[in-house]
Structure 1
Amino acid sequence: MRLSRYIIYLWVVRGLLRILPFLLMGTLTLATFWLVKRSTPPESLALARVPQHVPDYILKNASLSNLNEQGQTKYRVLGKKLTHYEDDASIDLERPRIRIFQDQGAPVTVRADRGHVDGDLTILDLYENSEIFRPAQEAIGDRKAAPQLLARSSYFQVLINDDIVRTDKPLELQQGMSIMNSSGGGTFNNVDHSASLKGQVRGRIEPSEQKGRN
């Protein structure tokens, strides 16, 4: 009787020894899974770390300035309200105004009711009641005198680094006593003070009062 019990005991012990490695492996696997689960944040928190197109800060009566190599202001963007977005670093502006400064001559001012600047601060889109204003300029050096310029449209795009303002919407251009209307928009180059209109162009051109001045 004792021999039979001893044999059964050995059989049970051998069986346990055979399955013991599997039990240890299973326990380690469950423990690892539990630790990973505890260290991994919930899916909602993981998603929250992904930048969203939501404001991360808002400024009132703000301004952004860019300086040239000499430390002088190249352009300045102002807005009654500035809203910055975290995902693409773009900016929405209320009552935006950009002033483009030059080495010589008065600065050019472009304004509108609404604006949007891309994350690289290279393109400014202006919407609703947009206008470009450049005061009259006297002749300086090789540069000829230029009359006052005022352009109005529902939309302007400012290529900030290129000093170019353009639109594909109808616009009205007043330069001195001359006035022109374009159905296809136009492009204004602030470097060489040129303007080109597109589409159907109508208006009148008056002689410049500054013609003939040096």
Structure 2
Amino acid sequence: MQLSSQHIKQSIGRTLLRLMPLLLMGVLTLLTFWLVQKNTPHEKSALERVRLHEPDYTINNGTLSALNELGNTKYRILGNKVTHYDDDASIDIATPRMRLFQPDKAPVTVKSDTGHLDGDLTILDLIDNASIFRPAQAATATEPATLRMLATSSYFKVLINDDIIESDRPITLEQGMSIMHSTEGGIFHNVEQSMTLLGQVKGRIERAPRGSPQQ
């Protein structure tokens, strides 16, 4: 019985020796896996990897102004509620109103129900009940008299750096007593304060009465 037990112990010992390399490899594999897991940053979910488009601050009755090279106000944007987003620095504006200023000319006002300003502050989208308004202006030493102008559409895009307002939606243009409708939008050049209508244009043109510009 003793010899048999000793024989069994020797067999187990020889088996363990033969299995030792495999056991060592297994231990090393587990250790390597543990080290990799410990030093690898936790992988976020797909939702976490995408930077969420969420507001980082909101301002009620906010105002954004920009100056020209002479230090005069070039434009001013106002909104009942201004919401800034951290992921792309864009801004949503409730009831936006933008005033564009040109030397010796009447300021132009554009507005809509909602607005979106891109993160570079170069494009302002005006959505729903959008309008461009320029009041009548009497003649000056450098500028001729101008009639009241009102352009309305469902959408206008203000290219801020280019001083251009454009739309690819139908536009109704009122100037003095004249009224025109375009099917494919138009382009307003703020420097000249002139509107070019695109597509099919229909309407009526009325001569301005003598005297001061119509209000």
Band the TM-score falls in, shorter-chain normalisation: 0.7 to 0.9
The residue correspondences of 1:175-186 to structure 2 (distance < 5 A) are: 175-176=175-176, 178-184=177-183, 185-186=185-186
Q: Percent same amino acid among aligned pairs?
A: 46
- Which residue type is aligned with residue 166 of structure 1? E
Q: Which secondary structure state, in structure 2, belongs to the residue aligned with residue 53 of structure 1?
A: coil
- For residues 195 and 186 of structure 2, the distance between their equivalents in structure 1, rounded to whole angstroms, comes to 7
Where 1:33 maps in the other structure, the secondary structure is: helix
Q: Which amino acid aligns with 1:201?
A: K
The TM-score normalised by the length of structure 1 is 0.78
User: SS of 1:75's equivalent?
Assistant: strand
Q: Compared with structure 1, are the counterparts of its residues 209 and 97 closer, same or farther at alpha carbon in structure 2 (3 Å cutoff)? A: farther
Q: Deviations over 1:103-140 (max 9, x none)?
A: 22221110111112222221212122222111222334
Tell me if the contact between 1:51 and 1:86 (Cα under 8 Å) persists in the aligned partners: no
| Alignment gaps of 5+ in structure 1 | none
Tell me the TM-score normalized by structure 2: 0.78
Q: Indicate how the Cα distance of structure 1 residues 35 and 93 shifts in structure 2: closer, same or farther if over 3 A, else same.
A: same
Please name the residue that 1:40 is paired with. 42
Write out per-residue CA displacement over residues 64-105 of structure 1, whole angstroms, 9 at most, x where no aligned residue. Answer: 112222222211111111222333322221111001112222
Letter in 2 for 1:206: R
Q: Is the 8 A contact 2:104 2:142 kept in 1?
A: no
> How far apart, CA to CA, are the structure 1 residues paired with 2:62 and 2:98?
12
25-34 or 12-21, which moves further after superposition?
Answer: 12-21
How has the CA–CA distance of structure 1 residues 22 and 105 changed in structure 2, closer, same or farther, with 3 Å as cutoff? same
**Off by >6 Å, runs of 4+ in structure 1:** 7-10
What is the rounded CA distance, in whole Å, between the counterparts of 2:86 and 2:57 in structure 1?
A: 8
Q: 2:34 aligns with which of 12, 31, 35?
A: 31
The 3-state SS of whatever aligns with 1:144 is coil
Whole-Å Cα distance in 1 between the matches of residues 34 and 155 of structure 2?
A: 62
Corresponding residue for residue 56 of structure 1? 56
- RMSD, aligned CA: 3.1
In 1, Cα distance between equivalents of 2:187 and 2:140 = 24
